[in-house]
């Protein structure tokens, strides 16, 4: 089984960042297999913070650029995660600063 590449995205102010985040995600749309958006909302409460989880495909260079572009937006924090059963990839991901 190969590795799986995930990017998690936190948005501090969705109203201010949503348009730019959406433009970047559209630009890299061919690299996005799954997109899941989560936010705290019910009938009496609305949170302006959001969490987006992406399952990606494509070359590392492309997914690295996606992460970098997302992190260039003020109020947005993106983190790329590579999951694998391979010792080589696991060793790499353990060395990533969290």
The reported pLDDT for the residue numbered 39 is 80
Phi-psi region of 58 (alpha: psi -120 to 50; beta: other; left: phi over 0): left
Q: Model confidence over 19-60: pLDDT tens digits?
A: 999 999 999 999 999 999 988 776 777 778 899 999 999 999
The reported pLDDT for the residue numbered 30 is 96
Mean pLDDT of the chain: 87
Q: Model confidence over 60-90: pLDDT tens digits?
A: 999 999 999 999 999 999 999 998 877 655 5
Query: Pairing mode, if any, of strands 4-11 and 76-83?
Result: antiparallel
Distance CA 90, CA 15 (A): 36
CA dihedral 72, 28, 4, 71 (to 10 degrees): 0
4 and 76 Cβ atoms separated by less than 8 Å: no
| Per-domain boundaries in the chain | 4-94
Tokens of 40: 């705290």
Any idea which architecture 4-94 has in CATH? 2-Layer Sandwich (3.30)
């Amino acid at each position: 089984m190969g590795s799986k590449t995930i990017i998690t995205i936190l948005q501090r102010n969705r109203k201010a960042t949503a348009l730019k985040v959406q433009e970047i995600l559209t630009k890299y749309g061919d690299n996005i297999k799954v997109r899941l958006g989560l936010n705290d909302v019910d009938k009496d409460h609305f949170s302006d913070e959001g969490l987006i989880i992406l399952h990606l495909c494509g070359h590392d260079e492309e997914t690295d650029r996606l992460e970098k572009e997302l992190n260039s937006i003020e109020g947005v924090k993106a983190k790329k995660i590579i999951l694998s059963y391979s010792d080589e990839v696991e060793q790499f991901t353990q060395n990533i600063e969290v």
